[in-house]
Amino acid sequence: MKKIFFVCLFFLILSSCSTDNDNPEFYFEFVPIESVDMPLSFQHGEVYTIEYTYLRRTNCHFFSDLYFDRFENTRTVAVINTVYENLENTTCVELTDELVTGQFNFHVLNQNGVYTFKFWQGINQVGEDEYLIIEIPVIQ
């Protein structure tokens, strides 16, 4: 029985491999956040929509996801784009002024204190990450 399973698995793997390159190649890239629209304060238990903008670098860049990291009262946020390298019938062209707006919902769970948001804005000349840091107090 084990032999049959492994033989079937081998043929399944072999048949699923294709030498055709019909699928575009892609990679993921962090894209700097240009600006953020946030309230001046939060209230416990409320849900707030936080809006951000970033520049779309080329016509081959597409929104993929948000990187969102939680550590105590600090939230680190970055935009992740999928970059396609060989889209069919498309040449990647650099874009200079195409702003993209996105948003996410933030649920305030703390009853007091301050939330610190760090929005990734790229890497500086020394190779260190730079952030737009915004502190929002939680009021009662």
Q: Tell me: pLDDT of 5 over 90.
A: no
In degrees rounded to 5, what are phi and psi of residue 56?
A: -80, 120
Residue 96 and residue 56: Cα distance in Å, rounded? 8
* Range 23-139 classified under CATH 2.60.120: no
pLDDT digits (tens, 9 = 90+) for 32-57: 999 999 999 999 999 999 999 999 99
d(CA 27, CA 44): 39
Q: Is the pLDDT of residue 19 over 60?
A: no
Average pLDDT value for residue range 61-76? 94
Pairwise pLDDT comparison (23 vs 65), residue with the higher score: 65
Q: 96 pLDDT exceeds 90?
A: no
Q: What is the pTM of this model?
A: 0.78
Between residues 89 and 130, which one has the greater pLDDT? 130
pLDDT in the model for residue 13: 55
Location of structure tokens 């049959």: 4
Mean pLDDT over residues 23-37, rounded? 90
Residue ranges of E strands in 1-140: 26-31, 33-37, 42-43, 47-55, 61-71, 74-84, 99-107, 113-123, 129-139
pLDDT tens-place string over residues 100-127: 999 999 999 998 899 999 999 999 999 9
Task: Name the strand (E) or helix (H) holding 4.
Answer: helix 2-16
Confidence grade of residue 6 (pLDDT, cut at 50, 70, 90): very low
Q: What is the mean pLDDT of the chain?
A: 85
